[in-house]
């Protein structure tokens, strides 16, 4: 027994000596110069926990971000990009080479922008998507945000004509008012997607988009005296409470808190003013609605189904849809005054249920410029309306959604513009709006040579005025996935 114990101790000593030798060898390897390390066998990716993803996850749950350091040092594509930045924006080439030598490849960003492989088409689910964003957490957080920023929201309304409920809806859907803004290094995410975008059919276009955003990011951080390695955001490089990509920051972001420094991550006022400015610059129409409800009868639903072509830009004249037999569920709407108004048909499919349809106006299209998804735009609108209704019910707002009287020259959303007829006041001989039927359009409003409503075709051709959809802001929706976004 004594001999066996002695041998065991001797074996343990040998093992300890071997471990020490291996440790010394590892230290020598780790101390190798960068050039030596790049020629050695590649090591496994580092794993860095992201503790604050863009979406709420069960408490304590995180996911890991895979990064590979030093991938962009001595990279020919990156070197060409650096040369272009030096020529166009007078950057210091040495500083840029040093900066990109410290950039890490984000395998997580690549994974998240790669479509899931599937032989079956994705199934869109409006009700599931809607429930995700019109939840008590977002509504209650929106009520608090509105109360805390009421003066700033009203100031933005007066300056830009964008109602508070629309701004509050966007910020709630994007990040729950700054709760989930992303903890990816923006420089890593943009560089990865600019030079290593996954092999998808739209790879060339997407790489070009991210290179432009990387370019604008470097210019913005330099001019704003911000350390480009310090900014955190989403896996696509979207930044702050409103999730602006750098190109949108350069074009639309404003300082709205008086300090002349744009800070979309920490300044709620800057987020409010920047969203309002973005929507205004993209064509928001003050005092105009976002959507109209379509009648639930089979005829109206069939016409909506035939005309739903997926284009967000309004291109169907309302008159044409009414002439075909569509009814609207919009009490008080003056159909004659709105006959020439262009609309788009919003389709909202849910598996196992009849597809829902609505008419989208110009302001709905503007919301799709923030994110091209129909589901996203309608969720923003509905979330804002829910929050507004809760504040009105509690007495925090008047019936216009404002803390006080309506500012001179401004019309709250849904109100009648000055000089126009109030709801229910019709020109002599006009039919009451609520009594619109398939045959209620005045004969003079029918296009020459058109079919009478009773013989309207079951399918409708896209009007010639329909134009291709311009590229949206390009901001990623934080929560939708390929299975239920549209």
Q: Give me the helix-helix angle, 164-175 and 374-393, nearest 10°.
A: 120
Look-up: residue for tokens 């309004």? Answer: 314
d(CA 278, CA 280): 6
Query: Which residue in 78, 291, 270 sits closest to 188, CA to CA?
Result: 78
* CA distances for 456 relative to 277, 306, 351, 358, 359, angstroms: 43, 12, 29, 20, 20
d(CA 252, CA 237): 16
Look-up: residue for tokens 């903890």? Answer: 183
Catalytic site includes residue 356: no
Q: Give me the helix-helix angle, 374-393 and 362-370, nearest 10°.
A: 110
Q: What is the DSSP string of 422-442?
A: PTT---TTPPPGGG--TT-S-
Query: Which residue in 104, 99, 109 sits closest to 222, CA to CA?
Result: 99
Question: Both ends of the chain: CA-CA distance in Å?
Answer: 75
d(CA 301, CA 358): 10
Catalytic residue among 165, 174, 338, 385: 174
Structure tokens at 19: 């471990």
CA atoms within 13 A on the CB side of 10: 6
- Which residues form the catalytic set? 174
């Amino acid at each position: 027994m004594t001999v066996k114990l002695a041998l065991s101790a001797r074996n343990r000593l040998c093992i300890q000596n071997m471990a020490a030798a291996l440790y010394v060898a590892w230290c020598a390897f780790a101390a190798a110069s960068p050039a030596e390390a790049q020629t050695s066998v590649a090591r496994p990716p580092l794993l860095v926990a992201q503790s604050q993803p863009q979406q709420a996850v069960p408490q304590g749950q995180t996911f890991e971000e895979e990064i590979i350091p030093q991938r962009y040092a001595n990279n020919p594509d990156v070197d060409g990009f650096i040369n272009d930045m030096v020529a166009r924006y007078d950057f210091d080439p040495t500083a840029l080479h040093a900066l990109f030598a410290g950039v890490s490849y984000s395998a997580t960003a690549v994974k998240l922008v790669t479509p899931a492989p599937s032989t079956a088409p994705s199934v869109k689910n409006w009700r599931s998507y809607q429930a995700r964003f019109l939840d008590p957490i977002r509504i209650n957080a929106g009520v608090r945000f509105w109360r805390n920023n009421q003066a700033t929201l009203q100031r933005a309304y007066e300056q830009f004509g964008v109602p508070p409920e629309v701004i509050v809806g966007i910020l709630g859907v994007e990040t729950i008012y700054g709760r989930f803004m992303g903890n990816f290094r923006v420089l890593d995410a943009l560089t990865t997607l600019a030079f290593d975008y996954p092999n998808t059919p739209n790879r060339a276009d997407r790489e070009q988009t991210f290179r432009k955003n990387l370019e604008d990011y470097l210019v913005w951080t330099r001019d704003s005296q911000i350390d480009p390695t310090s900014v955190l955001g989403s896996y696509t490089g979207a930044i702050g409470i409103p999730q602006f990509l750098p190109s949108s920051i350069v074009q639309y972001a404003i300082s709205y808190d008086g300090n002349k420094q744009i800070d979309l991550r920490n300044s709620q006022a800057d987020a409010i003013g920047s969203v309002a400015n973005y929507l205004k610059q993209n064509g928001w129409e003050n005092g105009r609605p976002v959507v109209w409800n379509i009648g639930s009868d089979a005829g109206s639903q069939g016409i909506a189904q035939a005309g739903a072509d997926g284009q967000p830009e309004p291109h169907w004249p309302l008159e044409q849809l009414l002439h075909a037999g569509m009814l609207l569920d919009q009490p008080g709407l003056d159909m004659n005054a709105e006959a020439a108004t262009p609309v788009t048909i919003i389709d909202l499919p849910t598996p196992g249920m009849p597809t829902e349809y609505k008419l989208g106006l110009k302001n709905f299209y503007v919301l799709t410029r923030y994110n091209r998804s129909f589901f996203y735009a309608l969720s923003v609108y509905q979330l804002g309306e829910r929050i507004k209704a809760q504040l009105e019910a509690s007495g925090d707002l008047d019936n216009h959604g404002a803390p006080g009287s309506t500012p001179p020259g401004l019309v709250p959303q849904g109100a009648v513009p000055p000089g126009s007829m109030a709801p229910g006041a019709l020109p002599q001989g006009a039919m009451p709006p609520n009594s619109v039927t398939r045959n209620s359009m005045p004969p003079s409003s029918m296009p020459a040579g058109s079919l009478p409503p009773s013989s309207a075709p079951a399918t409708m051709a896209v009007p010639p005025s329909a134009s291709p959809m311009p590229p949206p802001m390009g901001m990623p929706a934080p929560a939708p996935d390929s299975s239920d976004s549209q």
